Amino acid sequence: MRVWANWKSIRGGYFQAMGITLLHGRYFNEHDTAGGPLVAIIDESMARRYWPGESAVGKQFRGHDARGRNDDPLTVVGVVRDTRTLGREVEPIPHVFQPVAQLNPRDTLATPDLVIRTVGNPEHLGVTIRDVLRSLDRTAIISPISTMDQQLDEQLTSRRFQTWLLSVFSMLASLLASGGIYGVMHYSVAQRTRELGIRIALGAEPGSIWGMILRQALKMILPGLIAGLLAAHWLTALLSGVLFGVKATDPVTYLTVALVLSGVAIIAIWTPARRAATIDPLHVWRQE
């Protein structure tokens, strides 16, 4: 079986520091040394892909020999939860973790990453961490220290800008739609002011006038809302690739927009309908 995965070499409490949950099996321990059998911890994506429906703990696979020997098999000793190393919007890819102790010395990373889990504000520990590292090795080159929140912010910067642009254009589109709906509905009712006044002069009650106007407005609003919701459902499929944690068919968003546009239409017919319902029938008769 050919295994495609992202390989990482770790030591110490890497999983605990990163908050990666152990689902099955065990973490690496002091027995996973250079002289022991090759072991590996995989994530649930790899377990689902290569051993679906069964426990991956105890399974063996072959990869690059971490100790420079023959292609000895690696035994899975643990399965951890997936991590999104390529970005929050990208689906997790399979990962294989190996203990650094089982690497060939010449393959050991010269510039490893140091992960530290803190209780307080991690930014306050930057100076202390540098002093400790300098005391251990004065020739060590220490890269800039950053927190996981900063790393996450860097990943999300472009997405935040895209979201901001989409939000601005969405608000402009909503304002244009609201303005168009308001103008059309207001004009359609205002044009019937004389007709409504005649109806009142012939004995129609203001309440019946209101009901008639509302029913006719709904006949115009509902087809537009249905067509708009169907078009939005179809178009949001194009944006599903840039969404994370939000479904393209978000019912709350659809309902909110529908209620806002319906409210705009109702407000648009309010003024001319009220004017028509309170018009003096004698004034209408004189005009006729």
pLDDT in tens, 114-141: 888 887 777 777 778 888 888 888 877 7
The whole-angstrom separation of Cα 202 and Cα 68 is 101
Per-residue pLDDT 10s for the chain (288 aa) are: 455 678 888 888 889 888 899 999 999 988 888 888 889 999 999 999 889 889 999 998 877 655 545 567 889 999 999 988 776 667 788 889 988 888 766 555 556 778 888 877 777 777 788 888 888 888 777 777 787 778 777 777 777 787 788 778 878 887 887 788 778 777 777 777 777 777 777 777 777 777 777 777 777 778 887 888 788 777 776 666 555 555 666 777 778 878 887 787 777 777 766 766 666 666 655 555
Position 150 scores a pLDDT of 80
Looking at this protein, which amino acid is placed at residue 159? R
- As given in the structure block, the two tokens for residue 150 are 């900063």
Burial zone of 72 (CB within 10 Å; 0-12 exposed, 13-18 middle, 19+ buried):
middle
The whole-angstrom separation of Cα 98 and Cα 11 is 8
